[in-house]
Structure formats: structure tokens, C-alpha cells
Chains A and B, each alone.
Chain A
Amino acid sequence: EVQLVESGGGVVRPGGSLRLSCAASGFTFDDYGMSWVRQVPGKGLEWVAGMNWNGGSTGYADSVKGRFTISRDNAKNSLFLQMNSLRAEDTALYHCARRGGSYQPLDYWGQGTLVTVSS
């Protein structure tokens, strides 16, 4: 069974940093690209960042470019999101998701970890 479990969320002050982790199991992790998607409470889904199977290709939403960094450790079946210079508008539930197949839909999602940026 495919499982994705996020961790690392919490409360942080504006300008602070946080590192999210996503532990993957139930599939061959280094066969798949991965993404981070967030949802601001009461708002819609926002794609944040994505990475191919070996980390050689990454992409970011304009809203986080230059502040967030996606990475992975295939030996540990883990995905990460380093978040720096955090802003109040980064407050959200952050999900990791697997990119499946040729058309790269997000076919499995974790439950998410909550990040709150507040002074």
C-alpha cells in the first residue's frame, strides 16, 4: 500500500525557516517524481514545488521561488521542502504527492502537515 506521511510542520515567526519531510513507503520511491501542494485554510489547492525521480529537474511556484527548496533522499525514501523567509501567506496545510505515469497526475497524497507563520 502506498503511504506518504508528512512531518515537520509547526508555528514559526515571519522570516523564519522550517523543513518539511515526507516519508514514502509501499512503492519504489526512485521511480517517481514528487510534488508539494498546499492549501490555505478555506482556500483552494496551490501547487508549490516538484522534482523528478533523481532530483535533476525541479520547479517552483512563483510565490515561493527563491525561498523554498525541494529535495529528496532516495536512499531514505524521503522528500523534503526547505522553507526560508516565511511569510504569513505561507500558512497552510502542506501535502506531499506522488507524480504518477506519463501524464504526471498526482496519484497519491499524504494527509498533510500544518505550517503556521505568525508573530
Chain B
Amino acid sequence: DIQMTQSPSSLSASVGDRVTITCRASQSISTYLSWYQHKPGKAPKLLIYAVSSLQSGVPSRFSGSGSGTDFTLTISSLQPEDFATYYCQQSYSTPRTFGQGTRLEIK
């Protein structure tokens, strides 16, 4: 199974900050990497797929990059509604594993 490791596990930041979350796969997953945002009591929301493609309706302050085993999610200027938990997921092979999550908190 492919292991997905995110860092950091938690992060404190302020509105307006630039934030980067990293995700590392235990083996190459090509570009089969997605990012999700999850808020308590809500369904997870797809932000980015295929490493860097922005899902329809997602603000352009979200961006993704990387290839092979190392990937990043960047939020260029944090907004109040961005405080949530973020997950990466590989869809290269089954089981389709998630990272452990990065909790983004208000400083």
C-alpha cells in the first residue's frame, strides 16, 4: 500500500498569510494527487485534483504543485473561511490512501 505523509500535522496562521502544506508519497504516484478541505460537520470538499488542477468554484488563492512523490498545497492569502483540516489523497492505486491531515488554525 502507498503511504501518504503530510506535514505539518497542525499549523497556526493569520488572515492574509501564505501557507504551504506538504504531502509525500511512499512511492511514485505520477500526478494522481488530490487535495480536500474538511470543516467540522460538513462533507469534505475537493479543492485540487491531478496535482494542480483547480476544482470548479474553488478560489484561485489555492494552488498545488509537485510530481512523483512530493507535493504541496499553497494558500496564497489566508481568508477566515480557510481555517479547516486539509487532506491529500492518492488515486494511483488501491487502496486510495489519504494523508493524516493538516489542521489549519487561527493564530
Contacts and interface: CB of A to CB of B under 8 A. Distances in A.
A50 B94 contact: yes
B71 interface: no
Given A62-B1, A101-B49, A107-B49, A35 B96 contact: yes
A60 interface: yes
Nearest to A96: B43
Interface in B18-57: 31-32, 34, 36, 38, 42-46, 49-50, 53, 55
Chain A contact residues, majority secondary structure: strand
B62 interface: no
Interface residues of A, number: 27
Given A103-B49, A103-B91, A106-B44, A45 B96 contact: no
Determine the interface band of chain B, counting residues with CB < 8 A from chain A: 20 to 34
A111 interface: yes
B49 A105 contact: yes
A85 interface: no
Given A45-B36, A112-B43, A61 B95 contact: yes
Interface of B: 1, 31-32, 34, 36, 38, 42-46, 49-50, 53, 55, 85, 87, 89, 91, 94-101
Given A50-B96, A102-B50, A111-B42, 20 more contacts: A44-B87, A44-B99, A45-B38, A45-B101, A46-B98, A47-B89, A47-B96, A60-B94, A60-B95, A61-B95, A100-B46, A103-B34, A103-B49, A103-B91, A105-B50, A105-B89, A105-B91, A106-B36, A108-B46, A112-B43
